[in-house]
Amino acid sequence: MIRPGMNCVSAFLVSLALVASSAYGAGIDPTGKYDLVTPPQPTDTPDKVEVLEVFWYGCPHCFTFLPYMEQYAKSAADDVAVRHMPAIFRDSWVAHARAFYTAELLGVQKQIHRPLFEAIHLRKSPMDSKEELMKFFEMYGVSNDDFNKTFNSFAVETLLRKSQVMQQRYGVRGTPTVIVNGKYRVSGSRAGQPEDMIKVIEALVERERAAKTASR
C-alpha cells in the first residue's frame, strides 16, 4: 500500500518491493545472489526447468549440501528436472566422475549416490581407485564384468569429455555449484549457506517457470 505523505521515490521503492514480493512469493529476491551464465547454455530437458548440480564426491561442502539437494529434488514440481554433473578440475577427480557415469549407465546412480559420499566422508575411504569402486559397486548388485565394461567404455569417456566442456561453459569455479536452466550459476560464495542456496534456486526456478508460461 502507498500511504499518504510518501514522496515519489518512496512510493516507487514500495512498488518495487511489492513486485518482488509477488514475483518470488514466500521465497527471496535472488538479485545479487547468483551469476549469469554467459552465453546461456541449452539444457537436456528443454520442456522443463533444469536444475543441475555440479559436484565432486570428494568435496566436503558437497557432502554438507547433499541433504538439502535431496530434499529439494523430492519436493520439486513436475516441471522441474533435477540433474547432477560431476566436476573434473584435476586428474584425481576423474575416478569419481567415471564412477558417477558408470552408475548412471548401469541404472544404479540413485542407489549409490549417497552411500558413495558417506564412504568417502564418514568412513574415510578415498574411493579413487578402480579396485575400490568395483568392490563398492558389487555391493549394489553390479557384477565385476559389467563394471569393467562400463567403467572404461567409450560412452563414459564421451560423458567425461562433455562434463569438462560444460563446466567451462557454465563458468564453474568450485563445488557445489548449481546451474538453473542453463542461465544462472548459484554457489555458496554468492548465495551463502546451503539453505540460502536452495532459496535462490527456488526463486530462479519460479522466474524461469513464469518466462516459459509467458512465451506460450
- CATH number, domain at 169? 3.40.30.10
Q: Angle 112-115-199 (CA atoms, 0-180°, nearest 5)?
A: 90
Please indicate, yes or no, whether residues 23 and 36 belong to a single structural domain of this protein: no
For residues 7 and 51, membership in a common domain is answered with: no
Residue 210 and residue 149 in one domain: yes
- The verdict on 141 and 130 lying in the same domain is yes
pLDDT number for residue 28: 79
Question: Range of 135's domain?
Answer: 32-215
**pLDDT score of 4:** 36
Q: What is the length of the chain?
A: 216
How many domains does the chain fold into?
2
Give the burial class of 42: count Cβ atoms within 10 A of its Cβ; 0-12 exposed, 13-18 middle, 19 or more buried.
exposed
The rounded average pLDDT for each run of 10 residues, N- to C-terminus, in the chain (216 residues) is 38 37 57 97 97 99 99 98 99 99 99 99 98 99 98 99 98 99 98 97 97 88
Per-residue pLDDT, 27: 65
Helix (H, G, I), strand (E, B) or coil at 149: helix
Task: Indicate whether 142 and 50 sit together in one domain.
Answer: yes
Please check whether residues 117 and 159 belong to one and the same domain: yes
14 with 39, same domain? Answer: no
Q: Note whether 15 and 83 are same-domain residues.
A: no
SS3 87: coil
2-21 pLDDT, tens digit each: 333 444 334 333 333 333 43
Res 19: pLDDT: 39
